[in-house]
A and B are shown apart, each in its own frame.
Chain A
Amino acid sequence: MPDLVIVAPILVPLVAGVVAYVAGRLRRGVAIAVAVLQLPLACGLAWEVLRRGPLHYEVGGWSAPLGIQLYADGLTALMICMASIVELAVGVYALGYFEWTERESQPSDHTPPGPSATGPAATGTTTSESAKRSRGGSFWPLSLLLAGSLNGLFLSGDIFNLYISLELLTLAAVGLIGLAASLDALAAALRYLLIAVVGSLFYLLGVSFLYSLYGTLDWQQLAMRFEFDFVSRCAIVLLVLGLLVKAALFPLHFWLPAAHGSAPSPASALLSGLVLKAAFFVILRLWFEVFPHPRLALAGQLLGGLGAAAILWGSLQAIRQRRLKLLVAYSSVAQIGYLFLVFALASDPAVAWNAWSGTAYFMLSHACAKSAAFLAVGSLQLAARGGEIEDVTGAAADHPVTVYAFALAGVGLMGLPPSGGFVAKWLLLRAALESHQVGLAIVMLAGGVLAVGYVFRVLGRAFAATDGAPQRPIPRLMQWTPLVLALVSVGLGLVALQPLELLRIGAPFAPSSSAQSAGLSEQAGLGEQAGLGEQAGLGEQAGANP
């Protein structure tokens, strides 16, 4: 059953999620076992894709228009590897996190409730054991189901199936935010749920138009039948608008800081690192492989412009924040801007490959860096008993490991060499310069400098000498996981060749014929011409391929 490798990334986490829901004490064990198992599965899939080119799998044995098809190409494999790396790190971190927060809220710890009248503290400081265990315990099934639906989304070849996966992600995300049970978490979860559901309904309306026009739900068949008439353009607008809401691009980003800022740290890491990328992944897939068309260039420029605005606005807001997690959340708004530049850059076929592979690699490195940053900030916050940046003063003395983890994650976010972020930024920069869009290049560099602004605002406080109250000790698990994840994000810069090789399979753009990639093609020696040829029938449109 060679094709098991394409179903396993969906099957294992979802079934484990169900088992974790039912199993009381076994939840942690199941979750960690699956998190560890996911990495080899992802690598297996990547290896299979490398070996055999894009994979197709008909669920239920029915061929495309009737049944649902799973499709795995280079980009999918890379995304699933990204997801499994981040989920493993977050899972291990959550072990320490929930065990620590529960130990902190023992009856013995009678920290008086906040004096504010708004927070009714009738139940005093303690809640019954069952509630806490169940809450801490609910993280595991939720994160497993989130992982399963994420892999389902990356692998799905059916636009209605994408709708259900997006809904799954939304509900899991709201559940995770709800775990925090603080006032702003509840408000953020409500706002996020309403907006995400409306976004999904926009998407579904677009799907209904496409279905009634072309009679198929499989996006590869859709790509073949797609013509660029008025109704299809309306469908594109609806699809993209719905997904923009969920991907939190600049004007529609207002729900993100509160949602990611108030969720418990492992949850914010999952949300910011992975869930945002799912919606963007769908846009990327649709834009370049289902309805690529020269006349979309103008819309691409608009999205690119919004991305640039997001970079500047997000970074400026991040610098202004007083609370740690809001700072990192606003940095997500900025980094999402980087992703959307691809629509402006890739409209010029000569640089399309650089832009596209740069964006894919940016998703990978940003996921690791952002999750590491959130985990590190979470540890610092709990140690310093406070969420403000001032509370972190002098943290470098007490918790050097966590501060260095945040610093390394910051290196990834700032795109300084040798991190993965740098490689992605380099590819995007090259694409921008080659297609003479110097404006975008300048915005990218400005984004990097502003990122230094907000990262070092935190590090500056951390390195300051302080005589304040000694901070609480952080469990070893919560110190070393962010560091390892940050090291992975930095290490991605050094091993960029292999993932980019993986990305070439089933990519909508062949690597441009410019000098340096020519060197690569003879040395690659892979049967990718065959892969590209066979796939050319399916994926590439006349317009998109030089």
Chain B
Amino acid sequence: MTLLDGLSLLSIASGCFFFVAGSVGMLRLPDAFTRLHALTKADSAGLGLLVLGLGLQADSWWTVLRLLLIWLLVLLSSATTCHLIAQSALRRGAALRRGDNDE
């Protein structure tokens, strides 16, 4: 268990934690927008950590570059998708849940 392995284990574990957090967020949060928020943010971060962990294990820079490319692409697409879903939810009139304090 070299230092490298330890580090990658740590980052992969935290990545997974982020994914779990995102999922729990999606289940627990009240309305569409907050769920979108949770999903996009947590999963992107989780994936980043995962890519970092795998990058440490990679045997050549070429693989690391490809992993990063994957991460970049996922970032881009999830951001756009989140935006589009939010826009359609807005137009569809999903109830914007007021914050607890101004009830």
Q: Does chain A touch chain B in the assembled complex, meaning CB atoms less than 8 Å apart?
A: no
B residues sitting closer than 8 Å to A (CB atoms) are none
